[in-house]
Structure 1
Amino acid sequence: MDETAIYVYGIGRDLPAEAVAGVRGVAGAPVRALEAEGLTAVVSPVSLAEFGEDALRRNLEHLDWLEATARAHHAVVDAVAERGVIVPLGLATVYRNEDRARAALRERREEFARALARITGRTEWGVKIYADLAETAPRERKPAPADARPGTAYLRRRSAQRHDEEETRREILTLAGDVDDELCAIAATRRLHRPQDPQLSGERGWMILNAAYLVDDERAEDFRTAVARLAGTRPELRLQLTGPWAPYSFAAEEEAWTER
């Protein structure tokens, strides 16, 4: 049989038994709870032939493998999050055995406790804001003087066009900032992510904002309503709301693999 390691999906506390009952993880392996220091690691066995240090480094370069692993990882976190509070860990957080996984819980107990306190009773919502500058109405410009040379007139038109584009961008950014301010007033906290390239997002236009908001569960409806209202009153912007999600953006980061 292949030598195995322990894959950790996330950290919880006082998780009910049904939170992991029947849940399958990476490679279809059964998920279970591993207890230590009053914390619960949600884990499953994985093969070192696939998740050992060298093998993992190679596999992370294969998109099909990476996508399948990420889907399994997120499915476990989402399933557990429906029944309890879990701090999601990074993709491919692997320990060589249960003793090392328990040691990590002991060493990082305070860090995980703070993260659990931060996310308890809250969920993550994502908001992306797009603007299509090509569809923005052009500004009315003064005609070039009648005696202007063709080359001079062209340069003046190009200069005016660049000025209009810069002015439009500033106005759009100000509007997006106002939207973000209103949403931040509802959310407990917010994290900004790097805007996605249109080729990756599949959306037309310029992504101005890519943000994650941690929202108290009792304010979730207020948050959704605010996004809908802001979308209706900001025709220059296109708002996209996703969620609720397990709070990936607000959990402690983990490296894919370190020697443990």
Structure 2
Amino acid sequence: MADDQGVYLYAVTRDEGEGPDGLTGVAGAPVRRLAYRGLAAFLGTVPLAEFGEEPLRRSMEDLAWLEETARAHHRVVEAVACLRPTAPVRLVTVYTAEAQVRELLDERYDQFDAVLRRVAGRSEWGVKAYAAPAEPVVAAAEPDATPGAAYLNRRRAALRGREADWRRAAEHAEAVHEALMGIAVDGRRHRAQDPQLSGRPEQMVLNGAYLVDETRAAEFARAAEEVAGQGVVVELVGPWAPYSFAALDHDGER
């Protein structure tokens, strides 16, 4: 491989034959398969001028670039995961040579084996809960209050109302999480997203990921719908490859 090219790693599976044909991934590069010790890594070639350490720091601050890269990464991972149990690798994991990927498969063989056993027959579902907008609180007017004081009273009452609504929604979100954990094999609570990222005006009170047996997927989806209410709007997304339950601590060497 040329010195100005890097190896982009998408996912690792067991070596059970060829992967999806004709896939293109990040940077429009074709996806290829590297088999080693009974495992298979799915790779692409990317220019280090864009995916090297320093350029990557700048690129990661470009939201349009990041979205395009994440979509391409996700498309490859999902195509592979449709065929067999898959351990997705985190976004923009880049190596300088295929030899380093073989070293990764060799050194982390036991970890990959454990992850692939764990996710077999299971998928990840995402559940996001938002504090539903409540009726505005109207403060009682004081007979002798000036217009300015009346405005401040209304403002304070509205803020107290929103805080109380958020607390109730957060408490119910905890109950939602516990109910879903009764069905899921495992779960993770990620950091709540800012409205600019979630695309919704409501405050997010739960950003959960759940590993669910495929035989219980319908049951899980019904449960997510049934626990909505009490000031909470629930959004169910998935199923997809188990990103939240397959992470390994392996930095790409760029």
Please report the TM-score for the alignment, with normalisation by the length of structure 1. 0.84
- Tell me the distance in 2 between the aligned counterparts of 1:62 and 1:138: 41
- Tell me the distance in 1 between the aligned counterparts of 2:201 and 2:159: 21
Shift of 1:2: 5.1
Cα 1:235/1:30, change in 2 over 3 Å: same
CA contact (8 A) 1:125 1:241 kept: yes
- Out of 211, 215, 219, the position equivalent to 1:218 is 215
Structure 2: 5+ residue runs without aligned partners? none
- Tell me the distance in 2 between the aligned counterparts of 1:167 and 1:55: 46
Task: Please say if 1:249 is aligned against 2:244.
Answer: yes
**Superposed counterparts of 1:1-260, under 5 Å:** 3=3, 4-17=5-18, 19-133=19-133, 135-136=134-135, 138=137, 150=145, 164-231=161-228, 234=229, 236-253=231-248, 257-258=252-253
- Tell me the distance in 2 between the aligned counterparts of 1:162 and 1:35: 59
Structure 1: 5+ residue runs without aligned partners? none
Give per-residue Cα distances to partners, 1:93-151, cap 9 Å, x unaligned.
Answer: 11211111101111111221221122111101011111134x24759x9x7998xx748
- Tell me the distance in 2 between the aligned counterparts of 1:160 and 1:66: 41
Give per-residue Cα distances to partners, 1:224-249, cap 9 Å, x unaligned.
Answer: 11112223xx1521110100011111
CA contact (8 A) 1:93 1:254 kept: no
CA contact (8 A) 1:89 1:254 kept: no
Shift of 1:63: 2.9
Cα 1:28/1:15, change in 2 over 3 Å: farther
CA contact (8 A) 2:172 2:230 kept: no
CA contact (8 A) 1:12 1:84 kept: yes
- Tell me the distance in 2 between the aligned counterparts of 1:64 and 1:157: 41
RMSD: 2.7
Shift of 1:188: 0.5
Shift of 1:30: 1.8
* Number of residue pairs aligned between Structure 1 and Structure 2: 250
Cα 1:144/1:110, change in 2 over 3 Å: same
Please report the TM-score for the alignment, with normalisation by the length of structure 2. 0.86
* Larger-gyration structure (1/2): 1
What code does the residue aligned with 1:206 have? Q
| Deviates most, 4-13 or 59-68 | 59-68
What code does the residue aligned with 1:114 have? A
Q: Report the identity percentage.
A: 45
- Tell me the distance in 1 between the aligned counterparts of 2:121 and 2:186: 13
Give per-residue Cα distances to partners, 1:55-93, cap 9 Å, x unaligned.
Answer: 333333333332222221111001111111111111111
